[in-house]
Amino acid sequence: MKLPRMLITAPGSGTGKTMITCGILQALKNRGLRVSSFKCGPDYIDPMFHREAIGVSSYNLDSFLCGKSGVKELLVKYGKDTELAVIEGVMGYYDGLAGISVQGSAYDIADITDTPAVLVMDCKGMSVSVVPYIQGFLGYRDNSHIKGVILNRLSPGMYDRMKQMIESQTGIRVYGYVPVIKEGALDSRYLGLMLPHEVKDLKNRLEQLSETLEETLDLDALLMLARGASELEAGSEKKDEMDRLASRYRDLRIGIAMDEAFCFFYQDNLELIKESGANLVPFSPIRDRALPEDLDGLLLYGGYPELYAEELNRNETMRAAVRDAVKEGMPCIAECGGYMYLQEAIQNAGGEYFPMVGVLPGKSYHTDSLKRFGYITLKGGTVFGKEIGAIPAHEFHYYDSEVCGEAFQADKPLSKRSWRCMISTDTLLAGYPHIHYYGNQRVLQAYLDACEKWKNDRGKKR
């Protein structure tokens, strides 16, 4: 398959690659191009900004969570009906597993998919020093896949001289620059960027940013670079797994929490659930007074429940409905924020505790540092009563809990560190780890089997 594509990366976090990626997406959309967007790694928030920029879903490409074949499959699957795929990198270009490997890095995705990469260089406080910086990135791997650079936070008066110097001394193309854009900056909090709905006047800001990039970037040259990418061949292993799951669970109704408090989910997971035949039924634990009718299962993914602890607590009828459903045995997956919601109480940023659903023991409390960060492999436990093998997963949370569960051993890759985590029964899988179903689709199959059993057993009782 021929899919024009490029990867926007940077030497490290905080260099403006999300802002520039969103601006490029908006500019390409304004030109009338059908664009797909992707994010390297396990991040939830950056894809939300991609969705705001182009009005379509954004997907994650993660070689640890999904494997090489899964990465290829996802890129082909969600890029095939578009004219161009724009992929945003994660952290620094070569930063991967355990801080000592390139596996799982943006470079790894570029290498797996043979995608040309463009390096965003933050030029604040640098001039000539940019050259050896770029040379180091080009030379670190025999094929770095880096085909050009964008100079961020650069004075327009310096651009022509910087471009000539970089191109003559490194041999790669400079695709333009981005001046300092205060109104285009995206603010952060402890789990990453502020959420799109929290950014004032985001739509207009993206439009203004795209207009600037039309003037300062050579978008035509970037399109030529993307169109020169090699053909893609999807991995067959993950495709075979998906084919076995397709349309098997028709007519299941799965309630999924979706609002300001619960907004961290992999779009790939949701699409896979729908492809299985199940119907996703959104509800808001903040605003809705009751669960949707005739549900066969619950999904409580992550987000920022601690920011909305008072509102979640105030909705007593919803808390009671969720409590009753889980107690009665409705199959439920609760990840990170969803796990916190099921526990006895959540502490907000001010230190005040608010009672939550209370179907699981323990209270969740804020800490001043990351308690768990990065990839893990879950081993030794069962999922909805079934042994399904190892599960690649990811944790990223400043909150901790008095009770984190004992069902699985979490092993850090390339490390001797491990710990116990998660609560797992025949009807519940709950804990801090986030799971991408492409890593082990038997997780989803075990869950949907449990939902199907719940539906059938409920029908017999009527």
Strand ranges inside 42-133, DSSP E: 58-61, 84-88, 117-122
The CATH architecture assigned to 5-227 reads 3-Layer(aba) Sandwich (3.40)
Q: Which of 208, 436, 430 is nearest to 341 (CA)?
A: 430
Catalytic residue among 22, 66, 336, 421: 336
| CATH number assigned to the domain covering 246-461 | 3.40.50.880
246-461 shares the fold of 5-227: yes
User: Quick count: other Cβ atoms within 10 Å of Cβ 462?
Assistant: 4
List per-residue pLDDT tens for the chain, 462 residues long: 899 999 999 999 888 888 899 899 999 999 999 999 999 988 877 777 777 666 777 899 999 999 999 999 999 999 999 999 999 999 899 999 888 899 999 999 999 999 999 999 999 888 999 999 999 999 999 999 999 999 999 999 999 999 999 999 999 999 999 998 765 554 543 334 456 555 566 777 888 888 999 999 999 999 999 999 999 987 666 556 656 666 778 889 999 999 999 988 899 999 999 999 999 999 999 999 999 999 999 999 998 899 899 999 999 999 999 999 999 999 999 999 999 999 999 998 788 999 999 999 999 888 776 566 789 999 999 999 999 999 999 987 677 788 889 999 999 988 888 989 999 999 999 999 999 999 999 999 999 999 999 999 987 665
Task: Determine whether 451 is an active site residue.
Answer: no
pLDDT digits (tens, 9 = 90+) for 1-39: 899 999 999 999 888 888 899 899 999 999 999 999 999
Give the pLDDT score at 188: 46
Give the pLDDT score at 397: 64
Give the pLDDT score at 189: 38
- Three-state DSSP state, 355: strand
Give bridge partners of residue 119 from the DSSP assignment: 9, 149
Q: Where are the domains of the chain?
A: 5-227, 246-461
Ordered DSSP codes for 279-342: EEEEE-TTT-SSPPTT-SEEEE-EE-GGGGHHHHHH-HHHHHHHHHHHHHT--EEEETHHHHHH
Give the pLDDT score at 19: 86
Give the pLDDT score at 198: 57
DSSP 441: T
Alpha carbons 117 and 108: distance in angstroms, whole number: 11
What pTM did the predictor assign? 0.89
